[in-house]
Amino acid sequence: GECLCNPVRFFAILSMQRSGSGWFETLLNSHLNISSNGEIFSSFPRRSNVSSVFMTLDQVYNLDWYSSAAKNSCSAAVGLKWMLNQ
């Protein structure tokens, strides 16, 4: 199918609070083949050290493969929102 030859792109929305990033993320998520997973580093343990950051990123970027989190069987882009003060 079409999806097999399209690589999945990873992205991060880097932003500050009250800048419209929530609206932008909602806009991205309205696309059937884009999945943004929100502010994954708002919880301190997920950003407490480099190992936990890499582990969290690995989990987020593999959500569509290992769980039912995918909105569609063909995700073209998977990402997250990372606030600059985190």
Q: What is the pLDDT of residues 26-42, one digit of tens each?
A: 999 999 888 888 887 78
Please give the Cα distance from 32 to 70 (Å, whole number).
10
For the segment 26-83, what is each residue's pLDDT rounded down to a tens digit?
Answer: 999 999 888 888 887 788 777 788 888 888 888 877 765 555 444 556 778 888 898 8
Q: How confident is the model at residue 1 (pLDDT cuts 50, 70, 90)?
A: very low
The H or E element containing residue 58 is: helix 50-61
pLDDT of residue 25 exceeding 70: yes
| Predicted pLDDT at 68 | 46
